[in-house]
A = this chain, B = another copy of it.
Amino acid sequence: MRVQTEDFRALARQLDEEDELARFEQEFVRDDSELIYLLGNSLGRLPRATAQRMERAVREEWGERLIRGWNEGWIGLPQQVGNRIGELVGARPGEVIVADSTSANLYKVIVAALRLRPGRTKIVSDDLNFPSDLYILQGAVASTGGQHRLEIVPSADGIHGPAEALAEAVDEETALLTLSHTLFKSAYTYDMGALTRLAHEKGALVVWDLSHSVGAVPVDLARAGADFAVGCTYKYLSGGPGAPAFLYVREGLQAEARNPLSGWMGQEEPFAFGLDYQPAPGVRRFLTGTPAVLSLAAIEPGVALLLEAGVERVRAKSVRQTEYLIALWEHRLAPLGFELRSPRESARRGSHIAVGHPEAWRIAQALKAEMKVIPDFRQPDNLRFAVAPLYTSFGELYEAMARLQKVVEQKMYEKYPAETTAVT
């Protein structure tokens, strides 16, 4: 879809009327109808069903059932929720679990992958990967004996992932290629199947971070032949602040892959209390400690809504919405000095658009403080606007950009301090 209009308000109304996902908006808590929330890629809105689920988890399951909660459902949550997420990303049942943080899970699968490729010393990633993923790679290399070295391939323009250079960097020395499927800054999305195939041709394994894809960008891990994947659940899945992450291990690798964080939940028989660790069959061996039940229980309702809506429909709306935003950028924002920092080609773009502006930080402050628009600011001068197709309307996008235009045209941002202080 290319937007061919200058009456963006009328177009928004029309697109909202045609939107077959519009009914999902009421499934989410929205106490302030004026607030336009464009940060579903960072912390998804609270589903109404989750609020109810949490009350039950706290008052009934913990408060009344106490320890019996483990036998009555908690113990199976990591696999149960994992399998549901697996449906969103093309995994088979028994390939996904939910546990720990994305970073901890990344450490587990990276160390596991390196042990599956002894003698190979190179790990390849890119400089647009989420910094935490690079930090974890550095920690994994430093803590496992130091035999590996990282090759961080740079992006040419800071927007597009360096797919070709990555393919060249992966060679017979390479143990592992690890990338974010959709990049957190620009929303560039890699061709997972193509890169996985190229890596496999060289004998390397591939770890994908799906944090900025899951729930917004279709992923088919099985078809891509991906080896390992991790991803977070608090963005498009609406799992709640810091909700536990997921971890995928391809079935064919499960028997030989070893979890370095070999805790009792990944033990073959956790309640036999034997002294020697025997990994559980299947992906369960990648569990570690006791799962954080309250945070874990909050994940499923948001995933259920996405499954009900259907990944393809969610994606179709997401593409329409980011196209709409790009058209608005072209007509309204570019003349105000905003630079587009996301791919124009929708096939290579996730569910947000990034724009740069020298006053991005102060603009973000004004939008939040005076205009009831919540965008995302990322150092040094980026604004990100994310669409979460289950609860973002075209009307909101129109209105948010109109308010942004006003902030810039009227220089409303000038009274805000230039020094960045935000933590998120």
Chain A positions near chain B (C-beta within 8 angstroms): 29, 31-32, 37, 39, 42-43, 45-46, 50-51, 54-55, 58-59, 61-64, 66-71, 74-75, 100-104, 107, 111, 115, 127, 130-132, 134-136, 138-140, 142-145, 152, 232, 234, 240-245, 258-265, 267, 270-277, 288-296, 298, 374, 376, 378-379, 422-424
Contacts and interface: CB of A to CB of B under 8 A. Distances in A.
A400 B420 CA distance: 60
A217 B264 CA distance: 24
Nearest to A102: B289
Nearest to A64: B31
B29 A59 contact: yes
B140 A293 contact: no
Nearest to A262: B139
A74 B294 CA distance: 16
Given A31-B63, A46-B58, A272 B379 contact: yes
Contacts of A111: 143
Shortest 6 CB-CB contacts between residues of A and residues of B: A101-B289, A103-B263, A139-B262, A143-B260, A103-B289, A132-B264
A64 to B, nearest CB: 5
Contact of A136 (B29, B104, B263, B423): B263
27 contacts: A29-B63, A45-B63, A46-B62, A50-B58, A51-B59, A54-B294, A62-B240, A70-B423, A101-B288, A101-B289, A103-B263, A103-B290, A104-B289, A115-B143, A135-B267, A138-B277, A139-B259, A139-B260, A143-B144, A143-B260, A241-B293, A241-B294, A242-B290, A242-B291, A271-B422, A271-B424, A294-B294
A241 B50 contact: no
A139 B261 contact: yes
A357 B152 CA distance: 60
Nearest to A61: B241
Contacts of A51: 58-59, 63
Contact of A63 (B46, B69, B271): B46
A207 to B, nearest CB: 15
